[in-house]
């Protein structure tokens, strides 16, 4: 029976927003906005970051709960061990300022579900692997130049539409992408450190909130020095965040002087703290438990204690240099290295016994390659142990997240290929990141905090990357 126009079902509930932006309920029965603030807080704390950000713009009260510094601290405390891949599309001549945080969708996790097949063997189903992708932005270098380019392009399009005398279209070569790109350095407690090429760390940002700060500029008498290493971390003893850079001067061969400089967030300068015992380029910085770690060469790891501001010793790598590829990361609370050789994949972790540290092999497998001739060779970066004991890694040469479970009865290998919409992509870089809602102002009150959601936020630089897609391949 067709309902007459203008009539509403008897039990229909209508929601309206009044001048105070409060949601009201017209109808009978309870509504979600009637929940006590404490209950709302408990629910929000269990959601992925993407869902929390969506809830923040739905209802004024929820916005207040999520913006409360106490809530952000509780959220980080509950999730400080939940690190996820932060992905950026990469091209050596383009700008990529969009990052993608890949989390498991609600109530799914990255873990596969098991079932028993018709032949009685235990197998895994790939399709329960559901992911939530949160888009984040990092700032541009020289944003005023991007703003001027955008204005010239808008003027050109308006004049063309009005039939005015033709002017030359702004040339994309007028804006050099390399002048606007920051390099990713490392992640610490929900914050990212970004760097300018050769000058080292320049910006600290929270990609979730969009906030960022500029670090003090280098001194004029240091402009001739070149940064060969840098990193960002937290000093538990002083309760301060610190940025380190390692500089050398003179010819590359030999390197004459290698200086260490530190900037503490909240201060206005860098201070020199001595010389570095490492003269090689220090790659792939990682923060863990008050220390920074780098690869200083093919077969050694450098470590810097942010409490004492001194380099400390790390046990030599426990394998021979004939391992072709090795990637360093953090698994749980341990420094880890994933090394591959022939058909063998090993994962080693540092065990801390107080005054002594040692390496211990955690995962080992000798693969009968068969049709999988591209596996396991390549560079793997260990990212996370999953609840079912599987290991999540990033395989750099194939740009794929890899789910690997060395089980007794069968082996689960799941490739999550990273695909980008559009062109101008050569690959991806991945950082292990703990998402945080904390404001930089809550961390240090006297910081001059900026936000990427400025007038340049929506401007698209020529040939910027667009969106990320994940495609699952089951092996």
- Is 284 found in the same domain as 321? yes
The DSSP code for 410 is -
Cβ(208)–Cβ(435) below 8 Å: yes
3-class secondary structure, 274? strand
- Is 40 found in the same domain as 91? no
3-class secondary structure, 372? coil
Out of 75-84, 118-127, 389-398, pick the least confident: 118-127
- Is 82 found in the same domain as 59? no
pLDDT bucket at 247, cuts 50 / 70 / 90: confident
Strand partners for 195:
183, 201
Residue 329: per-residue pLDDT: 92
**How many whole angstroms separate alpha carbon 429 and alpha carbon 379?**
12
pLDDT bucket at 135, cuts 50 / 70 / 90: confident
The string of pLDDT tens digits covering residues 423-451 is: 567 788 899 999 999 999 888 777 888 88
- Is 89 found in the same domain as 42? no
- Is 127 found in the same domain as 30? no
CATH of the domain at 336: 2.120.10
Q: Is residue 391 part of a domain?
A: yes
**How many whole angstroms separate alpha carbon 377 and alpha carbon 339?**
9
**How many whole angstroms separate alpha carbon 62 and alpha carbon 47?**
13
Residues in Cβ contact with 266 at an 8 Å cutoff, skipping those fewer than 6 apart:
240, 444, 446, 447
Around Cβ 285, how many Cβ atoms within 10 Å? 24
Phi-psi region of 174 (alpha: psi -120 to 50; beta: other; left: phi over 0): alpha
- Is 58 found in the same domain as 184? no
Q: Select the more confidently predicted residue: 392 or 206.
A: 206
Q: Is residue 456 part of a domain?
A: yes
pLDDT bucket at 244, cuts 50 / 70 / 90: very high
- Is 137 found in the same domain as 27? no
Return the residue matching tokens 């409490």: 307
Cβ(264)–Cβ(257) below 8 Å: no
- Is 208 found in the same domain as 298? yes
- Is 49 found in the same domain as 194? no
Average pLDDT taken over every residue of the chain: 76
Counting residues of the chain whose pLDDT is more than 90, the rounded percentage is 20
pTM for the predicted model, two decimal places = 0.81
Cβ(362)–Cβ(349) below 8 Å: yes
Q: Which of 234, 229, 221, 176 is nearest to 199 (CA)?
A: 229
- 3-state SS string for 396-415: HHHCEEEEEEECCCCEEEEE
Strand partners for 262:
244, 271
- Is 30 found in the same domain as 89? no
Q: Select the more confidently predicted residue: 20 or 291.
A: 291
Which structural domain, as residue segments, surrounds residue 88? 76-141+180-474
Out of 231-235, 267-271, 328-332, 340-344, pick the least confident: 340-344
Cβ(468)–Cβ(420) below 8 Å: yes
pLDDT bucket at 232, cuts 50 / 70 / 90: very high
Q: Is residue 399 part of a domain?
A: yes
**How many whole angstroms separate alpha carbon 95 and alpha carbon 462?**
9
Structure tokens at 347: 């994962």
Around Cβ 174, how many Cβ atoms within 10 Å? 11
- 3-state SS string for 150-177: HHHHHHHHHHHHHCCCCCCCCCHHHCCH
Provide the number of structural domains found in the chain.
2
């Amino acid at each position: 029976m067709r309902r007459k126009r203008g009539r509403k079902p008897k039990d229909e509930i209508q929601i309206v927003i009044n001048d105070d932006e409060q949601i009201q309920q017209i109808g009978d029965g309870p509504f979600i906005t009637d929940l006590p603030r404490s209950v709302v807080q408990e629910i929000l704390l269990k959601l992925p970051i993407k869902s929390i950000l969506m809830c923040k713009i739905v209802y004024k009260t929820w916005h207040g709960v999520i913006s409360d510094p106490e809530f952000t601290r509780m959220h980080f405390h509950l999730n400080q061990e939940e690190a996820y891949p932060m992905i950026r599309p990469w091209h050596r001549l383009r700008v990529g300022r969009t990052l993608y945080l890949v989390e498991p969708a609600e109530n799914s996790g990255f873990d596969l579900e098991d079932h028993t097949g018709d032949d009685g063997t235990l197998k895994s189903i790939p399709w329960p692997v559901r992911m939530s992708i949160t888009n984040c932005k990092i700032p541009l270098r020289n944003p005023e130049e991007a703003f001027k380019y955008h204005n010239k392009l808008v003027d050109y399009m308006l004049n063309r539409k009005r039939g005015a005398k033709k002017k030359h279209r702004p040339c994309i070569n007028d804006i050099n992408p390399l002048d606007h790109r920051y390099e990713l350095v490392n992640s610490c407690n929900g914050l990212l450190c970004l760097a300018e090429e050769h000058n080292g760390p320049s910006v600290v940002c929270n990609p979730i909130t969009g906030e960022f700060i500029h670090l003090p500029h280098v001194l004029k008498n240091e402009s001739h020095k070149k940064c060969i290493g840098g990193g960002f971390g937290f000093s538990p003893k002083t309760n301060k965040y610190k940025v380190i850079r390692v500089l050398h001067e003179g010819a590359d061969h030999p390197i004459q002087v290698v200086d260490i400089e530190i900037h503490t967030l909240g201060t206005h300068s860098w201070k020199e703290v001595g010389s570095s015992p490492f003269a090689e380029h220090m790659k792939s910085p990682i923060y863990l438990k008050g220390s920074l770690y780098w690869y200083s060469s093919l077969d050694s790891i450098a470590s810097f204690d942010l409490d004492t501001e001194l380099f400390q010793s790390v046990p030599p790598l426990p394998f021979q240099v004939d391992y072709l590829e090795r990637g360093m990361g953090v698994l749980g609370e341990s420094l880890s290295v994933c090394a591959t050789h022939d058909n063998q994949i090993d994962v080693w972790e540092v065990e801390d016994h107080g005054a002594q540290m040692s390496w211990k092999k955690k995962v080992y497998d000798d693969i009968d390659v068969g049709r999988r001739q591209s596996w396991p060779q390549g560079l793997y970066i260990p990212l996370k142990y999953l609840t079912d004991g599987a290991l999540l890694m990033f395989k750099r040469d194939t740009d794929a997240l890899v789910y690997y479970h060395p089980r007794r009865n069968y082996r689960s290998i799941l490739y999550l290929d990273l695909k980008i919409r559009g062109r101008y992509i050569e690959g991806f870089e991945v950082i292990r990141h703990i998402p945080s809602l904390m404001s930089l102002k809550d961390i240090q009150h006297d910081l001059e905090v900026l936000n990427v959601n400025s007038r340049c936020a929506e401007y698209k630089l020529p040939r910027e990357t667009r969106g990320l897609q994940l495609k699952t391949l089951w092996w």
